Structure 1
Amino acid sequence: MRLPGRLSAAIEVLTEVDTRHRPVSEALKTWGIGNRFAGASDRAAIGNLVYDALRRRASHGHVMGSDDPRALVLAVAIRDWGEEPEMLNAAFAEDRHAPEPLTKDEIARLERGDDSLASAGNATRADAPEWLESALERAFSNEWVTQLRAMTGRPSLDLRVNMLKSGRERVMKSLKRFEPMETAIAPHGLRMPAGSRDARTPNVTSDEGYLKGWFEVQDEGSQIVSALVDATVGGQVLDLCAGAGGKTLAMAAAMGNTGQIFAYDTDRTRLAPIYDRLKRNGVRNVQVRAPGEGALDDLAGRMDRVLIDAPCTGTGTWRRRPDTKWKLTPELLAQRTAEQAALLDEAVRLVKPGGTLVYITCSILPQENGDQIAAFRIRHPEFAVRDAATLWGAQLSLPLAAVTDAEGGLILTPLTTGTDGFYFCALQRKS
């Protein structure tokens, strides 16, 4: 497929997303099944067009005077991918799969480009939902637009080297064809930066090293907060929302397969992949607890660390899942914050005196982060926030790069740490 056909396909996929309210990943998969002539490069390019359009939906829509699929895809081609309107129209004329030629109005709007954004509101320039503006300003003060603009780029592909089985040099050699580099902060991470235009993301999960358990795909931000848990050799740790086990695996490696990690989740489906991952990674100090009445009763008052990787709005992952940015509602936010408060209260009985409760989200919203910590400390004054800078220095041996909020928690963002958005706060129980 040539670019005109790819643009038409991206418009078709976005139309499917808008009209049938389907997740982008499903719409792209369905399009691929229905158009088997498209090769892997074509599918990657179409996916890039769709995701780029959604990352900057508000600003592109403002420039174009419309955020319909055609307007967004054309804006991506010209504003993000560097195509020229006249050259596109010439290419369209020679390709029967092309969209309709750009109109004079569309060309005029694209030529004005960023100049037209000067009159736009902050939420539009930040490519963020307008109803979240006050929350984002509370999180980042007068830097919030800059922070959110940094969340409109493509994410890198990050890996965590499994030190139970391998080392950085060995994995870098195995993946040499992808030109990996060491992560800037995470001590055992590797990164493959995102490409531009129609660049494909490396398929590392088919690599021999992955199949042997030498590394896992894990964003550097997730690696950082996993390290900050400070899961010590020989300790007793509960991962209360383990899901597929990404942070469980990182902690097991940090503990050198000593002590005991209990991996639990209320959803059996989310938990199911952990069994194969533990085996492939050579992890022996994890006991999976399936959901059920009384499943954690014997752990009460025994845990050195209880990790809550809380269900959240996922606002920190907007680079990877930009469609969720525009689907988020006040009702969903309220549902998530209620679940988070309940999890924090449930965890209290499991933390031993002197132990630490760790709260993590992949959100940048204060309602899910600092507000939760402030409310929890009122309900449970026996917990005090551990100094984040001290934890950072001990585990990462680098100057603190994350933003510190009023409650003493850390906020990781693409702008400050080059990672997905994460929140971290550790609370120690009085002895």
Structure 2
Amino acid sequence: MTPGARIQAAIELLDDIIAAARTGGAAADTLVARYFATRRYAGSKDRRAVRALVYAAVRRAGEVPASGRAAMLGLADEDATVAAEFDGSPHGPAPITADEPCAPAGIAPAWLEAVLDRSQVPRAGWPALVARAPLDLRVNTLRVTVAEARAALPDAEPVPGVPDALRLPTGSAIERHPLFLDGGVEVQDAGSQMIAFAAGAEPGMTVVDLCAGAGGKTLALAAAMGGLGQGGGALIACDIDRARLSRLAPRAARAGAEGIVTRLLDPGRELEALADLVGQADVVLVDAPCSGTGTWRRNPEARWRLTPDRLARLVASQAHVLRVARALVRPGGSLVYAVCSVLDDEGAQQVAPLIAEGWLPEPLPVGTPRGAGVRLIPAEHGTDGFFLARLRRPC
């Protein structure tokens, strides 16, 4: 592909991504994969170049652009080499005219920037919310030691404060490495690992992962518990999404994490399936569904999908999940609440009612204090953005 053809391909992909963001369609990564699946003539260098152009344009535009061309013109406005390819050559984009729209640069839609301000996310750190992220790994201590993993991955560096975390440079590939294939490491952001670490799961405990999804944190909890077969205890992974929860079993087998129990929950009737666990759990982890404002560096188009109404629905859902979770915690047990969001509506304000009822906040060794918990943001902590709180139920 010529440089101009690459830019035209990026424009076409951006049109698809913008339309999907407006209608709740497929994610950008899926759309990119579909696009190239039908264009076998594009070589690996072409695919990398087009993908880089697409994501540079997505990261730059805070508001949803009017079109893919408008998004790419935003890049052209800042990069003369991109602008030079708008020359009307075969398979390339038409020349730029003086009056056509150009997507303005920004961090997020205006209404969402106001919510970031209200949540006191420092503006100096906003660009890091959409910057490219490194590749973080969790060493699966059921398979290998951290020292063994570092020896197998010479480019990896430890992440301070996260015992089992290793970090590879941005753009690294791990999926075909023997260590990954054999279950020795899992791809997991260091901030996400901090959440599992903060749960304090130990052998012999009864631990519930209430919003387990595909089980990333469940597997970290299993490792912390030393393997259920030897250490005893019980680890119950729950979710309302059958497809996502079904992905846990093969992942657990690969990781050597035996004995995890899964429970598919019926939305609105969760406690019916958890009746035997009411008041019994030593630890309940709630990694609640959220806006994902802390993961924009991995999914930058997600900020175009969020609306005030959707945020309100998520906040209501989080409050419901917390009501379910609190019922499961034994007296003296702990509830760990986390969201991959930097917004107070989903974080500090969600756990404030529990504090008012006498639940006791426990100190955490990570993040910046925020309400009864802590907040992690990329600019300050080098992780995805999270709110995290650990609360102890009064005896």
Partner of 1:281: 255
Which of 25, 29, 44 is the equivalent residue of 2:29? 25
In the alignment, is the contact (CA less than 8 A) between 1:159 and 1:219 conserved in 2? yes
Aligned amino acid, residue 368 of structure 2: V
Secondary structure at the residue paired with 1:55? helix
How many Å apart are 1:103 and its aligned residue?
Answer: 5.2
Partner of 1:338: 316
How many Å apart are 1:88 and its aligned residue?
Answer: 5.4
Which of 122, 125, 129 is the equivalent residue of 1:147? 125
Structure number having the greater helix percentage:
1
Distance of 1:281 and 1:215 partners within structure 2:
8
How many Å apart are 1:248 and its aligned residue?
Answer: 0.8
In the alignment, is the contact (CA less than 8 A) between 2:212 and 2:218 conserved in 1? yes
**1:229 is the counterpart of 2:221:** no
**1:132 is the counterpart of 2:112:** yes
What is the number of equivalent residue pairs in this alignment? 382
Distance of 2:362 and 2:149 partners within structure 1:
34
Aligned alpha-carbon RMSD (Å): 2.5
Q: Which moved more, 1:66-75 or 1:159-168?
A: 66-75
In the alignment, is the contact (CA less than 8 A) between 1:387 and 1:408 conserved in 2? no
How many Å apart are 1:210 and its aligned residue?
Answer: 1.2
Going from structure 1 to structure 2, the CA distance change for 1:146 and 1:282 (only over 3 Å counts) comes to same
Going from structure 1 to structure 2, the CA distance change for 1:286 and 1:323 (only over 3 Å counts) comes to same
Going from structure 1 to structure 2, the CA distance change for 1:227 and 1:325 (only over 3 Å counts) comes to same
Distance of 1:411 and 1:301 partners within structure 2:
28
1:223-256, CA deviations, whole angstroms, 9 ceiling, x for partnerless residues?
Answer: 1111111112322110011111111111111221
Distance of 2:55 and 2:12 partners within structure 1:
13
Unaligned residue ranges in structure 2 (runs of 5+): none
Secondary structure at the residue paired with 2:349? helix
Aligned amino acid, residue 133 of structure 1: E
Partner of 2:335: 357
Partner of 2:368: 403
In the alignment, is the contact (CA less than 8 A) between 2:236 and 2:261 conserved in 1? yes
Distance of 2:41 and 2:108 partners within structure 1:
36
Distance of 2:130 and 2:3 partners within structure 1:
23
1:345-380, CA deviations, whole angstroms, 9 ceiling, x for partnerless residues?
Answer: 1112210010011101011111111111113434xx
In the alignment, is the contact (CA less than 8 A) between 1:404 and 1:410 conserved in 2? yes
Q: Please, what TM-score do these two structures have when normalized by structure 2?
A: 0.89
Unaligned residue ranges in structure 1 (runs of 5+): 111-116, 118-123, 195-200, 393-399
Partner of 1:181: 157
**1:84 is the counterpart of 2:83:** no
Which of 240, 243, 268 is the equivalent residue of 1:266? 240
How many Å apart are 1:130 and its aligned residue?
Answer: 1.1
In the alignment, is the contact (CA less than 8 A) between 2:14 and 2:71 conserved in 1? no
Partner of 1:377: 355
Q: Which moved more, 1:326-335 or 1:252-261?
A: 252-261
1:290-301 to 2 correspondences below 5 Å: 290-291=264-265, 294-301=272-279
Going from structure 1 to structure 2, the CA distance change for 1:327 and 1:367 (only over 3 Å counts) comes to same
Distance of 1:250 and 1:204 partners within structure 2:
18
Partner of 2:46: 42
Partner of 1:304: 282
In the alignment, is the contact (CA less than 8 A) between 1:341 and 1:376 conserved in 2? no
Partner of 2:217: 247
Secondary structure at the residue paired with 1:9? helix
In the alignment, is the contact (CA less than 8 A) between 2:152 and 2:179 conserved in 1? yes
In the alignment, is the contact (CA less than 8 A) between 2:360 and 2:391 conserved in 1? yes
In the alignment, is the contact (CA less than 8 A) between 2:355 and 2:372 conserved in 1? no
Going from structure 1 to structure 2, the CA distance change for 1:2 and 1:184 (only over 3 Å counts) comes to farther
In the alignment, is the contact (CA less than 8 A) between 1:310 and 1:359 conserved in 2? yes
**1:412 is the counterpart of 2:376:** yes
Secondary structure at the residue paired with 1:205? coil
How many Å apart are 1:78 and its aligned residue?
Answer: 6.7
How many Å apart are 1:92 and its aligned residue?
Answer: 5.9
How many Å apart are 1:160 and its aligned residue?
Answer: 0.6
